[in-house]
Structure 1
């Protein structure tokens, strides 16, 4: 290989790194923007727009409340089927007096060396509910609640465009405004238990060991410790009763992987 060819190879590699980490259109920032846009669309019940943020890849999925919705059809079944029908009478867009507000914050994004896939961890804090003026017309009646959750997502670049590949949302806690989180009843929001097609808007499969407050297990990190280079030990991801051995508690959570995981 000539010196010129070698330099061209080095420049091409550097250009790829600039695209991945910096430059005019950094991949990391594009993935963050994608997740932020997801949040803005979801808050206003723009479920068609949300669904179109997802990849057409066969391993695409959404994990929510103990269920896994597979493929683009599963994505649409969750957002356009379950959510739209439950919250906004099947329309695409908000209805008067129904509140969803959940910022996407603390985004940590890591892109693979090829610049083709990425993983991201985000936190959400939601305030939601209905105004008293619609308590007799909205199926939720008069309700207001707090919610906090963690996303551990995967993203994929298709035809030069970043898309959501596998969204895994762990709603960590819920609380009423009246009493707060100290009094939240276990199973406050029931886990999904019936799959599609028995439930027309149900998931394709159920996830193992779903969690909800007061379960405080750690959602596994997609990244290694920045100093030690190690992952958190499984026992340290568990949440035993105070003073009890970790082995007595529910197993540590595991992040699902796509069949096409490189």
Structure 2
């Protein structure tokens, strides 16, 4: 779907999108580029099925918020599964289980915060319909949910976007960095954090460690997976020469939450099947 460039947009109603899927409406669209893309009825139906699975799992727990990851880009060459993560808020003004997340705008160097229904969240031109939920400890979840419902106040959002934003950068931010910083502002002793750098510093001192993504110089020059919307100059010269870039990834966020005991539970689906034990992220 082509995104309206206004922050914290209206969530799309689950029932309406399910109706579109059943009816086979060809006008459903997805994607963060500015060109219009028509999504097939089959893909909308698949997104609706994933949304129903996720919503049913969320309803099983008395939690006001959780993290939900999706596979929007194939990162298997980097050893990663999930490329994007957002928050899902139960009692949001836009509807029950509204996804709140940061998205790049039209392939530019800008981003906005969006509030969307779950079907729309899983309709965004994804590689597949794999999904993972991570729940937080109750006290942290309550603080985080309150902060998300109050957006855009205290949003910690930096609209200058880079896909490979350096962790802790003041000048750039990507979707995973925003998620980490909001989490850091909701953990014990972090509730009063209102500055991005302070949020990242808190997470780093608390044990967060970014992943390192290798981007050869040839890929930088010739283009490829990380060529668009990526500010390489956000990183020091030594990093650019080595090609090993520290980046906040979905995996590094989930590992941090698990290692520090902030995660209270997980659930994952691969190829539409519930996994007995969540696999690598």
TM-score range, shorter chain: under 0.3
Q: Which has the higher helix share?
A: 2
Largest Rg, 1 or 2: 1
TM-score (norm 2): 0.26
Q: Which has the higher strand share?
A: 1
Structure with bigger RCO (C-alpha 8 Å, 6+ apart): 2
TM-score (norm 1): 0.28
